[in-house]
Amino acid sequence: MIVLNLLCDHGHHFEGWFASGEEFRSQSQRQLVHCPQCQTSAVSQLPSAPHVKRGGAELASQDKSAAPVVAPAMAQLHQALVSMAREAENVGERFPEEARRIHYEETPARNIRGVATINETRELLDEGIVVLPAPVPPEEEFH
């Protein structure tokens, strides 16, 4: 896993986490990387200071010191995703349609979750409908 410093063509700075530099390039070419502020896919990688490995012992001590910080943050993120999923109605593949109906006040407002393609997500965002693509934890964790 690598963390890259990114910049969109509107000047917004943000981080992106990728399996590798090649994975970033692949996703960027397929326009899957978007600025979280303006949603543009015109994103470039900024130079960043490389980490030079000096020895196995140093790397092991760095990994141990980072683990206590990362583990609680990941647990909090996981719990937030479980909570959001538990409190939202699962509309499945009808997600784009239901999101529009809620946005245009054709049905009562409520929290929903479901499935949408990248193109459907882009269309919703273009219409001003705020959606958050997020991984959904397994349903057995909802109860």
In a domain, 77, yes or no: no
CA distance 56 to 33: 34
pLDDT tens digits along 3-61: 888 999 888 888 888 888 888 889 999 999 999 989 999 999 888 765 545 555 555 55
| CB-based contact 21:1 (threshold 8 Å) | no
The predicted model gives 100-111 an average pLDDT of 96
In a domain, 70, yes or no: no
The structure's pTM equals 0.48
Position 50 scores a pLDDT of: 54
- As a residue count, the chain comes to 143
Residue 10 Rama label (left phi>0; alpha psi -120 to 50; beta):
alpha
In a domain, 99, yes or no: yes
**Please, where are the H alpha helices in the chain?**
21-29, 56-87, 95-103, 118-126
Position 2 scores a pLDDT of: 85
In a domain, 38, yes or no: yes
β-sheet bridge partners, residue 3:
17
In a domain, 71, yes or no: no
Structural domain count, the chain: 2
Domain enclosing residue 13, as ranges: 2-45
